[in-house]
Amino acid sequence: MEEEKVSIVMPTYNAAARLIFAIDSVLAQTYSNWELIIVNEATTCDETAEIAISYRKKDSRIKLIQNKKKEGLAESLNIGIQNADGKYIARLDADDLAHKERIEKQVKYLEENDDVGVLGTWQHHFGKSDWVHAPARKYDKCRAILLFDCNMCHSTVMMRRKLFSEQGFSYDKNSSIEDFKLWTELMRVTKIENLPEILGEYYEGESNISNEKLHTINAEYPLIVGESLRSIFGIEIKDEDRKLFEFKASLITPDYNLEDKLKTYCYEIYARNKEVKFSNNAVMMHVLHYWWVREHTGDILFNNKIETYDSIDDIFFID
C-alpha cells in the first residue's frame, strides 16, 4: 500500500549553525514519502538559504520558501502549512533532530486512530541541559493538563492537515505562545495524544528566554487559560486573579489571600468538570493538585503517575 504523504514544516531564522543536522535527520527517516518545507525568514543574515538550496539540489523532496518580509514564527508556520500537500503536517525546528523512525511511527498511529488529530512524542533535551520531556500519553490527561500548561513537545508534533485546510485552524501570528493557543483550540475538536517514546532531540543553546519575552508570555497565559475555562466550564477569571494563571509560580512568595483564591478556583473547576464531563474526575484531581504544586514551588510535575484521592479536599498539599 502506498505511503501517505507527510509535509514537514521547518521555519528558519539564522539557523545555519545546526540546520544541516536537522535536515540530515529528515533524510535518515525510515519513512520515505515526505516533503520538507523550509520557510526562511526575510531578515535571516547567515547561510541558511544557501544550505537549504544545496540540499534541494540533491533531493527534490526539499522545498525552500523565502519570506519577502519579516513574518515571525507563527506566520511562517502558516505559510508552510498553506504550501503543504501531505495528509499530515509534521513539525521540526531547525536546531532539533528527529529520530529515524519518528515519521513512520507517527503515521502508523494516526492511520490506526482516526479520532486523534494531533500526535506528539517524548523529546530528549541536549546541549545546555540533559533531560527528557515526557508529556502525557492519552487524550484525557493531555487535554486536562492543557487547561493550565503548554505540555507538548512542539517540534515532535504531527497533525492532520485537514484541521487547517478544511476546519480553518491556524497559528495565531499575534500570539507569543502560538503553540499553546493552538493546542487549546484543537483539543475542543479532536484528540491530542503522545507516543510514549523519545523520537525527538531538542537542542538547548546558551541563549535564555529574555525578561521581555517572559513578561509577554506571563501576560498572555491567563488569557489563553481563561478562554479555555470560559468556553469549557463557563468559569470567568477575575482580573485581579490573573497572576494565578501565569506561566511562572505565583505563590513562591506566600500570599494567603491568593492561595485561598487558588483553592476556590480548584473547587469550582472540579465541580464544573463533574457536570460537563470534560475529563475523568481522577485525572482532573491529579491535574489540579499539580497546578497547586506548580503555583507554590514552580515544579511542573503534571506527568507524574496519577494518585488516588478520596476527595477534592485531599489535593491541597505540596509533595
What is the secondary structure of 101-143 as a DSSP string?
Answer: THHHHHHHHHHH-TTEEEEEEEEEEEES--EEE---SSHHHHH
pTM to 2 decimal places: 0.96
**How many residues does the structure list for the chain?**
319
For cell 535564555, name the residue: 208
Task: Give one word for 14, left, alpha or beta, with left for phi > 0 and alpha for psi -120 to 50.
Answer: left
Per-residue pLDDT of the chain (319 residues; tens, 9 = 90+): 689 999 999 999 999 999 999 999 999 999 999 999 999 999 888 999 999 999 999 999 999 999 999 999 999 999 999 999 999 999 999 999 999 999 999 999 999 999 999 999 999 999 999 999 999 999 999 999 999 999 999 999 999 999 999 999 999 999 999 999 999 999 999 999 999 999 999 999 876 567 788 889 999 999 999 999 999 999 999 999 999 999 878 888 888 899 999 999 999 999 999 999 999 999 999 999 999 999 999 888 888 888 889 999 999 999 7
What is the rounded distance in angstroms from the CA atom of residue 210 to the CA atom of residue 75?
Answer: 21
φ, ψ for residue 155 (rounded to 5)?
Answer: -75, 0
DSSP state of 69: S
Domains of the chain, CATH where assigned: 6-204 (3.90.550.10), 211-315 (no CATH)
